[in-house]
């Protein structure tokens, strides 16, 4: 009940929430900003050993283009 009241008041008054807390992000289904290495692993690319062997000899630019592809 309290959440509905707060959301309604914010909408009526045109307030903005930058979703910096855990609860806010859970409510809207975003990643939870918690842990010590969040920023470090945000853009990590995960693949198989086979993918790694294929890409190992390529330049970084070529790899980025292939991933974005």
Q: 48-58, pLDDT tens digit by residue? A: 878 877 777 66
Which pair of tokens denotes residue 35? 């842990």
Q: Is the pLDDT of residue 1 over 70?
A: no
The Cβ-side half-sphere exposure at 18, using a 13 Å CA radius, reads 1
Mean pLDDT of 9-21: 87
Longest dimension (CA), the chain: 58
Query: Do residues 24 and 17 lie in contact, with contact meaning Cβ atoms separated by under 8 Å?
Result: yes
Is the pLDDT score of 69 beyond 70?
no
Q: What is the pLDDT of residue 12?
A: 94
Q: Please state whether the predicted TM-score (pTM) of the whole model is above 0.85.
A: no
pLDDT at 14: 92
Q: Coil, strand, or helix at residue 11?
A: helix
């Amino acid at each position: 009940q309290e959440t509905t009241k707060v959301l309604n008041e914010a909408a009526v008054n045109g307030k903005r929430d930058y979703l910096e807390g855990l609860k806010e992000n859970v409510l809207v289904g975003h990643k939870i900003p918690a842990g010590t290495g969040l920023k470090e692993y945000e853009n990590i690319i995960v693949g198989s050993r086979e993918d790694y062997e294929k890409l190992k000899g390529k330049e970084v630019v070529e790899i980025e283009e292939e991933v974005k592809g």
